[in-house]
Chains A and B, each alone.
Chain A
């Protein structure tokens, strides 16, 4: 793999509410290499989506704000870039697809208008060339009747088709990085598999790096090269997918893996991680996972572990002691 195209260093994003500052992302680091598929995994509310919106510069502001750290795209810090600069990057260099295909397309404009706009914003093409490119994109994402589809409205399409349109829109300007924020969560399982296959295919063909944000370890296992596990706004483990699945170095990751239902296994109760993700800002010292951890030690409640390791990093005293 080649050098990092996108690098996040110590990113801190907070929401400023009437109750004060609520840190949603608390100093995370990761990087994505060219052409790589990186998974970001975690429960709801752990800061995955906020991370992706921070990268895109699309945080709802106020109340959201990047309060620390850097985001490097091709070596340039874009964490506080001007809106005009970000507009040029968005859709062109870094594109994004969202969780809800049903509501992510504008209901009162045709597929063609929305798709061609995405192309036109970053390319100067004639009307004919625009249409050709739009048809080509729809075919690329495996949609039949591409020409007719251009004249149809989102409500005339199924969820899977809409997500394909969203992917076509995101891929329209050959972005270097594609952020996919739970792109399959709202779809049923067969469509989910098709969409994932499509994304893998696009990654191979266009060499676009993909950041796959998900809470589904199955998706990670199927798609990703490397994975970052997030918990309560922090990275708790990072490494190659095979390492993390075979030798998880954090009790939280272990818990996540154990709670994957086994298709052929004995029908028993599914493993759960007791409790829920702490409210951001509610734990001030010690490991954030300590209240839910089966292996909690005394020092876990007092000291905050660091993210340590070479290619397989983890933020856990237990595993750092073993090493």
Chain B
């Protein structure tokens, strides 16, 4: 297990190197000039030239790429063209916002998705099954931005139950320590603010959770259906075990591998920042950060942002790979 982890970690290196190269190539293939964006359309050619030189944009592409790589390895993600501050310190608050939102969304998705899938499989072809699967179909098909707008209209504007935008109230903002507000408010002993942060999380988390919930529910259902037909479930019944226990203990553990795969993939996707959800709910996450950078042609931010997302995605799936062994003893790591 230990050697397997090391081996897998080493295998991540070429993957991440490839990522940097691809991102670098795509960004440079996009038409548009950052100097022009910064200085405006009325800038003189001399001004553009000198800015290009100070940003290193007049060097050949491979020089730019290698200096970028060197920086990454020394922990320096570069400087934002837009704000002129180091990206490594700028990106964390955004990443933290995304992590917090994704985490809550995934908790909802896993809890609701797995239970809906289990009940569907257990009571196959029943009214409950059909209802759950129709809802799942709506869940995967409904555009997130539309659901987000509906939520805001219903729960914020009409009912005025929940805030519609941001991570906290402007007049009562959280004093960050880790930038994970749920943790920060607790560290500062501000339970009132903790509750406020939760209230801000609910609507965007639900919007973000719909697709993963639906996908997890469908995967759970099909995986459970197969397991519930197997001989060892019949053995458990023959022992006199209760059905609810059989379903949640015996069957679920067997059915969990494909569900875990889906959870891993979806978590990776959410952590990449959900641009639509973050835009609608004014959530200052990494998706919104990169989106703004793209608009501004802030190459270093885009490169670093995508690299960080790719890194997270790869790491989440690495962890999922290691978790498989917990659920299925037949999986051996070599």
Contact = CB atoms under 8 A, between A and B. Distances in A.
Interface of A: 56, 58, 87-92, 95-96, 98, 100, 103-109, 117-118, 121-122, 153, 155, 166, 169-170
Contacts of A98: 231, 234-235, 238
Interface string B207-246: 0000000000000000000000011101111111110000
A96 B235 CA distance: 8
A153 B332 CA distance: 13
Interface in B134-182: none
Nearest to B254: A108
Given A107-B330, A109-B250, A153-B330, A92 B231 contact: no
A104 B230 CA distance: 8
Given A106-B232, A166-B235, 13 more contacts: A87-B242, A96-B238, A98-B235, A100-B231, A104-B235, A105-B232, A106-B250, A107-B329, A108-B327, A108-B328, A108-B329, A108-B330, A118-B239
B188 interface: no
Nearest to B235: A104
Contact of A117 (B230, B241, B329): B241
B238 A90 contact: yes
B239 A90 contact: yes
A91 B239 contact: yes
Most chain A CB atoms below 10 A, which of B230, B231, B239, B327: B239
Contacts of A109: 250, 253
Interface of B: 230-232, 234-242, 250, 253-254, 327-330
A36 B122 CA distance: 38
A166 B330 CA distance: 20
Nearest to A103: B231
Nearest to A93: B240
A103 B240 contact: no
Contact of B238 (A58, A117, A122): A58
Given A91-B239, A95-B238, A104 B254 contact: no
Given A108-B327, A153-B330, A88 B231 contact: no
Contacts of B330: 107-108, 153, 155
19 contacts: A58-B238, A88-B240, A89-B240, A90-B239, A91-B239, A92-B240, A95-B238, A96-B238, A98-B234, A98-B238, A104-B231, A104-B232, A106-B235, A107-B232, A108-B254, A117-B239, A121-B239, A121-B241, A155-B330
Given A98-B231, A100-B231, A107 B238 contact: no
The 7 A-B pairs with the shortest beta carbon distances in the complex, nearest first, are A91-B240, A90-B240, A91-B239, A103-B231, A106-B232, A104-B231, A96-B238
Contact of A58 (B230, B232, B234, B327): B234
A18 B253 CA distance: 33
Contacts of B235: 98, 104-106, 166, 169
B236 A106 contact: yes
Given A103-B230, A104-B232, A153-B330, A87 B238 contact: no
Contacts of B327: 108
A79 B235 CA distance: 20
Contact of B254 (A56, A107, A117, A121): A107
Contacts of A103: 230-232
Contacts of B241: 87, 117, 121
Nearest to A166: B235
A121 B328 CA distance: 24
Contacts of A166: 235
A96 B329 CA distance: 26
A43 B241 CA distance: 31
Contacts of B232: 103-107
A96 B239 CA distance: 8
Nearest to A102: B231
B240 A87 contact: yes
B243 to A, nearest CB: 8
Contacts of A90: 237-240
Given A100-B231, A106-B250, A107-B254, A58 B237 contact: yes
A100 B235 CA distance: 11
A75 B146 CA distance: 65
Contacts of A100: 231
A89 to B, nearest CB: 7
B239 A169 contact: yes
